[in-house]
Amino acid sequence: MPGQPLRLRTGVRFDVLDVPAEAGTEALRRLAPGSPVALRGDRMELLLAAGSAEEVPGVLDWLEWGAVTLDLRLLGAGDTVEAPPPPAGAVMSGRAGAVQGAAVWLRPPGPGRGVEALLPAMPAVGRGGSAPDLVRLLDTVAAQCHRVRLRRSCAGPAVSGRNQPLAFS
């Protein structure tokens, strides 16, 4: 329908890992240069290989992040995500003209080519050496999500003059 945002079904060609933008910025180093990444307000949407959303909880447990509360969401089979509008022209102009809260491509997918080979995947999938390693990406994202949470809890209001919740005495 005209005026309605395009919804993309996840779990078919890609899954989505939704993290705080502050945590996702560090993860960009673990992605292939052509890996699509969207920015939606203060959240970053990292595209993963299809089926990865099912693997993530087990990988986080294996990495010993399973018991830690992390601000990340997974979109896999049966979910949908709002597609950012295609970038205007060859060069992105940032967030100019974007509707508040609407997603924008931070790294748009390349025109006319599949990006599946560039998406982070489990090494056992046998996609050769070209795909970024999902395990390393998740370890980076989990550590950054945890740092963001600690930073935000430390920046909270002081309670009875004790504003160092992580200090030892």
pLDDT in tens, 146-167: 999 998 888 766 554 455 555 5
* Residue (of 28, 68, 46, 53) closest to 149 by Cα position: 68
How many CA atoms are closer than 13 Å to the CA of 103, on its beta-carbon side? Answer: 23
The pLDDT assigned to 131 comes to 56
The pLDDT assigned to 159 comes to 52
- The verdict on residue 160 lying in a domain is no
- The verdict on residue 166 lying in a domain is no
- The verdict on residue 34 lying in a domain is yes
**What is the extent of the structural domain holding 24?**
7-88+99-153
- The verdict on residue 41 lying in a domain is yes
The pLDDT assigned to 153 comes to 86
How many CA atoms are closer than 13 Å to the CA of 129, on its beta-carbon side? Answer: 0
Task: Take residue 45 and report the two structure tokens written for it.
Answer: 């949407």
- The verdict on residue 125 lying in a domain is yes
- The verdict on residue 74 lying in a domain is yes
Give the strand order in the sheet containing 43-49.
Answer: 73-75, 14-20, 43-49, 37-40, 103-107
Under-50 pLDDT residues of the chain:
90-98, 125-126, 160-161, 169
- The verdict on residue 37 lying in a domain is yes
Per the structure, the count of domains in the chain is 1
- The verdict on residue 32 lying in a domain is yes
